[in-house]
Structure 1
Amino acid sequence: MKHSSDTNTGIVIACLIIGSWAGLLAYLLFRYSVNFYSPLTYLFVLLQTHLFTGLFITAHDAMHGVVAKNKKLNKLIGQLCATLFVYNSYSRLFPKHHEHHKYVKSGKDPDYYKGNFFIWYFHFMKQYVSIGQIILAAVTYNLLILVSPESNVITFWVVPSLLSTLQLFYFGTYLPHKGEHAPDNIHQSNSQSKNHVLAFLSCYFFGYHYEHHHAPGTPWWKLYKVKELNVSK
């Protein structure tokens, strides 16, 4: 199976995610009036959460070199998406993610922690959140509330970014790696049951996590094809 970097498809999809995230956020911050009695407000929160997750998934694909064939462009897109995801550091994420693949579910795996959901989530966040990132987020927040209602900033920038970390952790780390796995499960990963619609909505097919570890050079938008090959345990 060819990587997305063999064509321009990965670049186009990355641009669609970045553009959709930025365009919707601009509308929600500067044109939309928050109404907590309207279902539309909550729909927008969920949609913006999904797009935040898309930014991280795109940065993740760049770490595997499958967004663009040109290495510099691939890295640039990865850095941009990581930065837009509330100032995550691509250079900090890159080595840790590859350690996760190399040492999955071992003492050297930075994403794994043998504990309950909340302790594991705290451990997971501690690996990637820095003081500098928190400062930049705080500065951005205070600048945004100068030009947009604070309720909009909280509802459509702060809340979706936090919900997205839960989405990524729950579907991309906790569910796939929790509990015991059979000795012959070489990737020590569970996989979501085949339902491509739910798999996309839940976390851009990363619930097909065994498949990702089995074929890490496959971009997120092709993971469903790996699932179709029935390689999951």
Structure 2
Amino acid sequence: MQKSEYQFTGIGIAFTILICWFLHLYFLLHQNLTFNNFYLFVGILIQTHLYTGLFITSHDSIHGVVSPKYPRINRLLGQTATLLFAFNRYSILEKKHHLHHQFVNTEKDPDVHQGNFFIWWFKFMKQYISWQQIIAMAIAYNVLKIWFPMWNLILFWELPAILSTLQLFYFGTYLPHMGIHNNEHHSGTQSKNHLWAFISCYFFGYHYEHHAYPYLPWWQLPKAKN
């Protein structure tokens, strides 16, 4: 499968995710919390999915595929998405993700820790959470409380970020790499269902395809699956 040549599609998609994340969060933070407002529950799920989109954007930036022709824009968009996702550090994600591809499912792989789901998730999260990130979140939370209600921040800013880490881990790491896979990329893949693949994790359930064609952005992975 050949590397696709495109100039602005990836940039447009990245901007769309960033703008939707911001506008939807802004909308939710201004809502009155009432149990008869069913959309608030749906809104948490949508915001979770948009958070996942932020991470996928930063991931594609690490692979240089948000904007292959404009590396500075590619990196800037990735760094912005990473920062908005709970003040993650792009440099750490970049280093460890390349190690994951280079040493997948070995002792040098920072993402794969075969065994119990929760122990694996804990070890996975330990690789990426830093004390600087926790301090930044605490400062941002206390500043944002000046303008927005506390429970709105917890439910619509913090909770979706936590749920998104579970979504990313379960569909993008645990399921694809759980157990032994007798192929060169030590990866499994979801059955072909593009709608579910997008909803679950922006097509990253097609994980063997991602390892086989790391130069494809997330929105082109269905082509690899086809």
Give the TM-score normalised by the residue count of structure 2.
0.97
- In structure 1, the residue matched to 2:42 is 43
Task: Check conservation: 2:99, 2:108, Cα contact below 8 A.
Answer: yes
Quote the residue 1:169 is aligned against: 169
Residue of structure 1 aligned with 2:187, choices 179, 186, 189: 189
User: In the alignment, is residue 221 of structure 1 matched against residue 219 of structure 2?
Assistant: yes
RMSD (Å) for aligned C-alpha atoms:
1.0
Question: What SS does the aligned partner of 2:188 have?
Answer: coil
Aligned to 1:231: none
Matched residues in 1 for 2:34 and 2:179: separation?
41
Give the CA deviation at 1:39: 2.4
1-structure distance, mates of 2:117, 2:222: 27
CA contact (8 A) 2:65 2:216 kept: yes
1:146 shift after superposition: 1.6
Question: Could you tell me how far 1:143 is from its partner in structure 2?
Answer: 1.2
Q: Distance in 2 between matches of 1:187 and 1:118?
A: 24
8 Å contact from structure 2 (residues 28, 40) kept in 1 = no
Q: Distance in 2 between matches of 1:208 and 1:33?
A: 39
**Residue in 1 that maps onto 2:153:** 153
Corresponding residue number in structure 1 for 2:73 = 73
CA–CA distance in structure 1, aligned partners of residues 34 and 184 of structure 2 = 49
Distance between the aligned counterparts of 1:44 and 1:163, measured in 2? 13
Identity of paired residues, percent?
54
Give 1:17-36 correspondences, 5 Å limit.
Answer: 17-30=17-30, 32-36=31-35
After superposition, the C-alpha distances for 1:33-69 in whole angstroms (9 at most, x for unaligned) are: 1223432111000000000000000000000101112
Give the Å deviation of 1:145.
1.5
* Alpha-carbon separation, structure 2, partners of 1:157 and 1:34: 14
- d(CA) in 2 for partners of 1:180 and 1:38? 45
**Match for 1:62: what amino acid?**
S
Gaps of 5+ in 2: none
Question: Separation in 1 of the partners of 2:114 and 2:21?
Answer: 34
The one-letter code matched in structure 2 to 1:210 is Y
SS of 2:17's partner is helix
Count of aligned residue pairs for this structure pair: 224
Offset at residue 171 of structure 1 (A) = 0.3
Report Cα offsets for 1:163-207 as digits up to 9, x if no partner.
Answer: 00000000000000001222xx11111100100000000000000
Aligned-partner residue type, residue 223 of structure 2? K
- Alignment of 1:119 with 2:119, yes or no, is yes
> In the TM superposition, what whole-angstrom CA distance separates every residue of 1:139-168 from its partner, at most 9, and x where no partner exists?
111111221111110110010000000000
Query: Quick check: 2:52–2:164 contact (8 Å CA) kept in 1?
Result: yes
Offset at residue 2 of structure 1 (A)? 3.6
Opposite residue 47 of structure 1, the aligned amino acid is: I
Q: For 1:74-113, list aligned pairs within 5 A.
A: 74-113=74-113
